Amino acid sequence: MNSGFVELLMRVIQPHLAVLPVLLPAFTAMVLLLVGDRNESLRLRRRIALASAAIGGLIVLKLALDANADVLRVYRVGDWPAPFGIVLVVDRLSALMLLLTQAIALPVLLYASGGWDSHGRHFHALFQFQLMGLNGAFVTGDLFNLFVFFEILLIASYVLLAHGQGRERFRVGVQYVAINLAASALFLIGVALIYATVGTLNMADLAQRVPRVTGDDAVVLKAAALILLVVFGVKAALLPLCLWLPATYAAASAPVAALFAIMTKVGVYSIVRVHGVIFGDAAGAAALVVEPWLLPLALATGVFAVFGVLAANTLPRLVAYLTVASVGTILAAIGLFTTLAWSAAFYYMAHSTLVIAALFLLVELVAAQRGDAADRLEPGAPVAQPVLLGLMLLLAAASSAGLPPLPGFIGKLMVLQASSGHAAQAWIWTVVLSVGFLTLIGLARAGSLLFWSVRPELAGTGNAAGASPRLLAATLSLLAAGVAMSVLAGPLKRYTDAAAEQLADRDAYARAVLGGEGVRTTQPYVFPRPATDSDEGGH
């Protein structure tokens, strides 16, 4: 009877898997708000939030496995046909981003449950709304709903940034809100220009219609594309639109900053979807309109960020600059506009997000044990766990800098290989290798101050909370996920290769979203080859 119930439940859920990553955190947040914010309900709220994140992880793992089997899920809300209704699409890239989000969310929630969630009101509800916005941005199939999910995740992030209060958080919070409100206004302007010119905002439909636009309308489309590059550049932290990020991320609490590590990737993801696909090489008069801008700005972002790493006077600010540096490397690969480079970007993006999230948590573990020196890069009290924390920092630093055989090295090597033969190859190699070398120097400097340049007379003045097994387990799980990317480098690279190829096949994507059932694409549907009998039931 139990097996029959499970089978029935799966049969009911299966058609709706694509929308569950959005609905699950939304309903969880509402339940958490109904539970209330009293101290006596804190343990219940933690259990609900962790259970929801765990279930969400299983859902997105199923979506990723299906995507790896060439299942492209299309969910039409209200059963309205695209492009007239709201459509959610889960392809390989969407599934990868969903899985990455959940892989960060669960450890971060576990870490926050160690005490940070009690420093302010409604932490877990806000966290779930943030997940709703992130997941929605990764599965939406049209530009307007991308804007809607942007606003959901931003509104939640405004409050999470100030969670726990403090003068510095309020100060940077005002700047953060002002910058993102301006970006949101530009987003609406760009979307309005596209709709006025093409008459649709469905991404699959846009990819089909944009190539047919010529004359003055093409000029308007180019202007809209450049406006959207500014918007996504703010979200992704692309120079010169990244100046807000170091102070903002450094001021946030450790679990919030760790979750924010995925937020810059929403901007990167949007650049790929909009400028790589809709305004890609098949976009006619508006093809590759951002190409002259994206690669130089990405390389400049990496250079700017690594000097910030060298100049940082606190650990959180150093890690914040590492976030910007990673975005520079990712967008440099995206800016090459080849499937090989995109595959490298996706692999490196997954690695860098996991490592940076782990570093934000590790920063607080170290700072809690250093007494008055806290997170400042100056001699302080010796930490209570020098070997464990030192090895954790060494592992994260080596991967961030790109030392073999860690995934940072593999990702950067893929980027360098993808740039072979490109006109800017010399610049790309110089910047990527220099940024990696200077990152290693910056992190080595930080490590020497934290673990070698200590003041023994201050021993025992730190906070033992930094040694909590719960906090260590959450941080180690993120570092372990990064190491697993090295062990599974072959299958992951095949996945990212296929994800990049799938993005390039605009016609197959359009047929899945706009035509007929379009729920499942088998291998011959995405990569043409002679049909076989085994394919008959695949559509």
What pLDDT does residue 465 have? Answer: 57
What pLDDT does residue 404 have? Answer: 86
C-alpha pair distances (Å), 104 with each of 94, 256, 481, 513: 16, 11, 10, 29
Two tokens, residue 413: 């090597």
Q: Which of 53, 28, 43, 255 is nearest to 160 (CA)?
A: 255
Query: How large is the C-alpha radius of gyration of the chain?
Result: 23
Two tokens, residue 58: 């299983």
What pLDDT does residue 168 have? Answer: 78
What pLDDT does residue 380 have? Answer: 76
CB 321 within 8 A of CB 246: yes
The model's pLDDT over 155-190, given as tens digits with 9 standing for 90+, comes to 999 888 887 767 878 888 888 899 999 999 999 999
Q: Is the dihedral of CA 72, 73, 79, 83 positive or negative?
A: negative
For residue 277, the 8-state DSSP code is I
Residue extents of the structural domains in the chain: 290-487
List of residues 6+ apart from 381 with CB closer than 8 A: 369, 370, 371, 372, 373, 454, 455, 458, 459, 460, 461, 462
Phi/psi for 6 (5° steps) reads -60, -40
Phi/psi for 44 (5° steps) reads -65, -45
Helix crossing, 167-198 with 215-236: angle to 10°? 160
List of residues 6+ apart from 345 with CB closer than 8 A: 268, 272, 330, 331, 333, 334, 415
Two tokens, residue 16: 């709706």
pLDDT 10s digit of each residue in the chain, 539 long? Answer: 466 665 666 676 777 888 999 999 999 999 999 988 787 788 898 999 999 999 999 999 999 999 998 888 888 887 777 777 889 999 999 999 999 999 999 999 999 888 777 777 888 899 999 999 999 999 998 999 999 999 999 999 988 888 776 787 888 888 889 999 999 999 999 999 999 999 899 999 998 899 998 888 899 999 999 999 999 999 999 989 888 889 899 888 889 999 999 999 999 999 999 999 999 888 888 888 999 999 999 999 999 999 999 998 889 999 999 999 999 999 999 999 999 999 999 999 999 999 999 999 998 888 888 777 777 878 877 777 888 888 888 898 888 888 888 888 999 999 999 999 899 999 999 999 999 999 999 998 888 888 887 666 555 555 655 567 888 889 999 999 988 998 899 999 999 999 999 998 888 888 888 874 433 333 323 333 334 343 433 33
Two tokens, residue 392: 């954790």
- CA 329 to mean position of chain CA atoms: 14
Angle at 166 between CA 160 and CA 169, to 5 degrees: 50
Return the bridge partners of 142, or none: 202
What pLDDT does residue 280 have? Answer: 86
